[in-house]
Amino acid sequence: MAQYPYRSLNEYYRTLFGGKTAKISLDGGFTCPNRDGTIAHGGCIFCSAGGSGDFAEDAALSIAQQIARGKAQTKEKWPAACYIAYFQAFTNTYAPVTVLRAKFEEALAQQDIVGISIATRPDCLGEDVLALLQELSLKTKLWVELGLQTSNENTAGFIRRGYPNSVFLDAAANLHRLHIPIVAHVILGLPGETAEDMLHTIAFINRLPIHGIKLQLMHVLAGTELAELYKTGAYVPLEHDAYLELLCRCISLLRKDIVIYRLTGDGDKSLLLAPFWSLHKREVLNSLHKLLKDKHISQGISLN
């Protein structure tokens, strides 16, 4: 019996691997076309210096060393039967294929690594990269995590995402053709977006061959352009109760087969400016589960 009224990541991993599975966040030393001038400089307006890899291991270490350290840290919290190498920081297909292959193969060579999850941009999946991903998918469990953030083209332009929705559609089609599971990243609470805008993004994902979704609360981090908007009052983060209500609506409208990988996310405490209530992650999730129960909401119930 499922623990929650939605398809949780923990449930999915237990079904797939038969036990507790941990993801080790890695920094492969890559950059991003939205930072190095290929598309723009500075990244998206919410992106910190860590490039969404604020919790990844130290890029100065080898992949093998990062995995060893990640295992040691994980075991301090709870024992895991196996591990997934999660290439998290920046754009993890933005390098020559020879470099990518070496990094990914090094990860696979480590003990108890049962799969690789690669976070990247949909505009960094050329034919040579797709061929490499197909090669990897025949050796191990492989997931590709694509940053969508929103299906609203106006919002995408404002946050400087750097590509139109058509690029995401093409990437999803190409990965699906290769039978590679896709995890879409979505941010709730982007500047200027209404609840309906965010629900339109859920509908957009429902129409695509998406395996999983990460629903990320918009955090305001020091040193970002979003932080400047927040300081002037031009951006107001979501409040606790409003976010929970929004999550309930998203879950009720999300296709039932899609695995929910994340429901809130973490902001680096040393950088977080708002919202501070998000630091109490366990309380947020407990409150969400109570609200889902009280409202009799389960994943996809509004699609019936």
Q: pLDDT of 253-286, one tens digit each?
A: 999 999 999 999 877 888 999 999 999 999 999 9
The pLDDT of residue 215: 98
pLDDT-derived band at 51 (thresholds 50, 70, 90) equals low
Kindly tell me if the per-residue pLDDT of 140 is higher than 90: yes
Kindly tell me if the per-residue pLDDT of 122 is higher than 90: yes
DSSP strand pairing (21-26 vs 220-221): unpaired
pLDDT-derived band at 79 (thresholds 50, 70, 90) equals confident
Which of 57, 52, 91 is closest to 219 using CA atoms? Answer: 52
The pLDDT of residue 77: 79
Task: Quote the percentage of the chain above a pLDDT of 90.
Answer: 87
The pLDDT of residue 76: 78
The pLDDT of residue 163: 97
Taking the C-alpha atoms of residue 121 and residue 33, their distance in angstroms, rounded to an integer, is 9
Kindly tell me if the per-residue pLDDT of 196 is higher than 60: yes
More confident residue, 56 or 24: 24
The pLDDT of residue 1: 53
Kindly tell me if the per-residue pLDDT of 53 is higher than 60: no
The pLDDT of residue 266: 77
Taking the C-alpha atoms of residue 108 and residue 138, their distance in angstroms, rounded to an integer, is 12
Kindly tell me if the per-residue pLDDT of 3 is higher than 90: no
The pLDDT of residue 290: 97
Phi (first) and psi of residue 135, to 5 degrees = -60, -45
Stretch 14-18: mean pLDDT:
94
CB atoms under 10 Å from CB of 257, counted, come to: 11
9-296 sits in which CATH class?
A: alpha beta
The pLDDT of residue 19: 87
* Sequence ranges of the domains in the chain: 9-296
Stretch 201-216: mean pLDDT:
98
117's tokens: 């999850």
Kindly tell me if the per-residue pLDDT of 187 is higher than 60: yes
Identify whether 33 is preceded by a cis peptide bond (ω within 30 of 0). Answer: no
Which distant-in-sequence residues (6+ apart) come within 8 Å of 4 by Cβ? Answer: 11, 289, 292
155's tokens: 């919002």
The pLDDT of residue 120: 98
The 3-class secondary structure across the chain, one letter per residue, is CCCCCCCEHHHHHHHHHCCCEEEEEECCCCCCCCCECCCCECCCCCCCCCCCCCCCCCCCCCHHHHHHHHHHHHHHHCCCCEEEEEECCCCCCCCCHHHHHHHHHHHHCCCCEEEEEEEECCCCCCHHHHHHHHHHHCCCEEEEEEEEECCCHHHHHHCCCCCCHHHHHHHHHHHHHCCCCEEEEEEECCCCCCHHHHHHHHHHHHCCCCCEEEEEECCEECCCHHHHHHHCCCCCCCCHHHHHHHHHHHHHHCCCCCEEEECCCCCCCCCEEECHHHHCHHHHHHHHHHHHHHCCCCCCHHHC
Dump pLDDT digits (tens) for 236-256. Answer: 999 999 999 999 999 999 999
Stretch 64-76: mean pLDDT:
91
Kindly tell me if the per-residue pLDDT of 65 is higher than 70: yes
The pLDDT of residue 173: 98
